[in-house]
Every structure is written in structure tokens, then in C-alpha cells.
Chains A and B, each alone.
Chain A
Amino acid sequence: MKALKILVLVLFAAVLIYASSGLPNRGDADNLMHADRSVINTTVKGSYFIKNAYRDAATPNMVTVVLGDYRSIDTFGEQVVIYTAGLITLLVLRRTRRLKKEIKS
């Protein structure tokens, strides 16, 4: 059984390594995801961000511009998710009130 597990892992690693040989080079300008038009001939939204991020926000880091400016409502949602998680821990983990009641009764 253990040999089978190792065999599956090795096979999976071989598949992944074989697939990684087909990936495009890093920073390749002729890459499909950097093209202006997609395969089905629609405009690629990312090319607009790449071209205009510095002109719009004077910020060299393109990721910050997308996160904080173009997709800022999405980031606000992420922050609210984290905030809600914190409040839920306050409700679930903190048990002081119930302990006080038990002491009284």
C-alpha cells in the first residue's frame, strides 16, 4: 500500500513537471495573457491596467493600483470579511458572561 502511495506521488510529480515545460516564459510580451485581444477576439481588461496604471495613479507598483484603485470595492469586501471573522471569534470564543451566570445561580 505504501509503495502504491509513493508511485501515485511520483506519477503526479512527473505530470506536473511535464506540464510546467509548456508554460510560457516569464515576462514574455508575446504571451497570450499579455495580448490586447483574447482568443475569442474580445478586449483583455488586464492590458488596460498594464498600460494605464502609472498614468492613472502615479504608482509604479501595478498590483497596488489594481488592488486599491481599480478593484477597491473588492478590497473593501475583503476587509469586511476579516472584520466579520474577528467579531465572530468575539462571539464564539469569549465565554465570560455564561460563567458569571453559573456562579450566580
Chain B
Amino acid sequence: MRRQYDSPIVLLGARLLSPYIMLFGWYVIIHGHYSPGGGFQGGALLAASVLLIRVAGGKRVSRLQIAEFATTPLAVVGVVIYFATGLVAMAMGGYFLDYEMLPFPGDMEASMLRYYGILIIEVGIGLAVMAILIMIYDNMVRGEDYA
């Protein structure tokens, strides 16, 4: 069994880098309408920023950021955001995932409704991918019985 040592230098470097990776992840998700990117890529970046703290700081520090029990509900929330968008569109009289029927307040064009519909599902994908990558890491660490 390997033993883990606290390294303040590694933790400081990870703390310095992690917020910028997380910000870039949200940028990739939200700016996916105009540049390469989207939910899957941005979710992977968000997971990278969280996992950096987990690898550098160990269990005690990472519990402060996203607790281990919170990852599974977050993944479910991500999937449910996507599915609920489709169901709401269907309940308002359209097809499944037909964003033109989404009940947004105000008088909006169909193209802008589709724009915001795509944005909502990208955020859902990003949340689910982030939570599941963290969940896989946590379960692997738990299975190995160290760290």
C-alpha cells in the first residue's frame, strides 16, 4: 500500500491552477455556440479542475470542494435537465426536444428559442460529464483503499 504525503508546494500549485481551468470549462460550455466546444469538452475541463485538487490535496481538502456523496445527485441532475427540456417541449405540444415549444417568458423568435434550448442542454451535459468523471475517480480511489 502506498502512503500519501502532504506537499504544500503541489497543493499551492493546484490551488493556483484550478480556478482558471474551471473558468475555462464554463467558457467552453457557454461559448460553444460560437467556437469549438460544448458540453462534453467543457464538462471534462470542469472535472479536471476538481480532480487536480483531489489528486494534490487528498481526501480531507477535497471534501470542502465537492463532497463525495454529492457527485451522484449532480450527475442525475445533469441528465434530468436534458430530459426535462425534451419533456417540457413535448408537453407544450411539440415533438420531444423540439425547442421551439419551450415556454420562455416574452415574445421570442423560434431561432432564439432554439438557441437557448441548445444552451440549456449543453449545461446539462456539462454537469453530468463533470459529476461522472469525479464519481469514477472517487470510486477507483475507494476501491484501492488508500488516499
A residues whose Cβ falls under 8 Å from a Cβ of B: 55-61, 63-65, 67-69, 72-73, 75-76, 78-80, 82-83, 85-86, 89-90, 93-96
Identify the closest chain A residue to B43 (Cβ).
A82
Contact A75 B143 (CB under 8 A): no
Taking residues whose C-beta sits less than 8 angstroms from the other chain, chain B's interface range is 35 or more
**Given A79-B82, A83-B132, residue A89 in contact with residue B111 (CB < 8 A):** no
A78 to B78: give the CA distance in the assembly, Å.
13
A64 to B118: give the CA distance in the assembly, Å.
8
Residues from chain B with a CB closer than 8 A to the CB of A69 are: 99, 114, 117-118
A50 smallest CB distance to B (angstroms): 16
Contact A64 B139 (CB under 8 A): no
Which of B82, B128, B136 touches A89 (beta carbons < 8 Å)? B136
Contact A86 B136 (CB under 8 A): yes
Residues from chain A with a CB closer than 8 A to the CB of B35 are: 61
